[in-house]
Amino acid sequence: MVEIKDLDYAADGSTLIGRLALPEGTDTRPAVLIAHEGGGLDDHQKGRAAQFAELGYVAFALDYHGGGVPLPDDDTIERCRDLWLAPERIRALACAGLDMLLAERRADASRVAALGYCFGGAVVLELARGGADVKAVVGFHPRLATRRPHDAANIRGRVLVCVGTEDPLISAQERLAFEEEMRAGGVDWRMNLYGGTEHSFTNPTSDAAGRPGVSYHQVSDDRSWRH
């Protein structure tokens, strides 16, 4: 049976609360770091940690807003904007989450992947740009832009980003700029595009917000998960 723990930790002047999920057994396992969508660490994102643990991974869903709960919409926009302007803050928050994951004795530090959703995709990409020792980085409908594109040369693992072609938050120009960044950095990378797919396509609750350009897309969700 999967074991679930909520863990308090500190970073960026805040108390953060992440979700650790452990698979059955006592042996060392590959580890997965998960960065939530821009709205905060909600039950859906916490559930991803359990999902990975059920597959046999040690998983930690980090918290980059604080409190381990979602933020109001206006606070989310302001918080994500301020973080994007300060990549070192993003990297510090990501590293704090990685440290919590690797503090678990069952986590194999030599086999770590980092996954992020929405702004969480930007979080794990910045973690990689900072030179963290992660073997794979995956962004689902992630913010691709960065204020430190030359740091792509520090990326040590493979990169996959999964983007909807109709995502109004990730323009074709931003995709092209990311392509050039990865090329210039010599990164082993891949970008998968999903036709007819908008932002937040992996989250079944995204339709409830009623925002234009934001919707769940089950086919693309399933495909990106397999990829």
- Mean local confidence (pLDDT), 138-164: 98
pLDDT for the residue 209: 81
pTM: 0.97
pLDDT for the residue 215: 98
Model pLDDT for residues 62-118, shown as the tens digit of each residue: 999 999 999 998 899 999 999 999 999 999 999 999 999 999 999 999 999 999 999
pLDDT for the residue 74: 85
Model pLDDT for residues 133-147, shown as the tens digit of each residue: 999 999 999 999 999
Lowest mean pLDDT among 64-68, 147-151, 183-187, 209-213: 209-213
pLDDT for the residue 50: 98
Q: Are strands 158-164 and 107-117 parallel, antiparallel or unpaired?
A: unpaired
- Mean local confidence (pLDDT), 191-199: 98
Domains of the chain: residue spans and CATH: 3-226 (3.40.50.1820)
- Mean local confidence (pLDDT), 181-192: 98
User: Does the pLDDT at position 175 exceed 90?
Assistant: yes
Q: Kindly report the average pLDDT of the chain as a whole number.
A: 97
CA distances from 226 to 10, 48, 171 (A): 34, 15, 24
pLDDT for the residue 210: 87
Q: pLDDT band at 208, cuts 50/70/90?
A: confident
pLDDT for the residue 73: 83
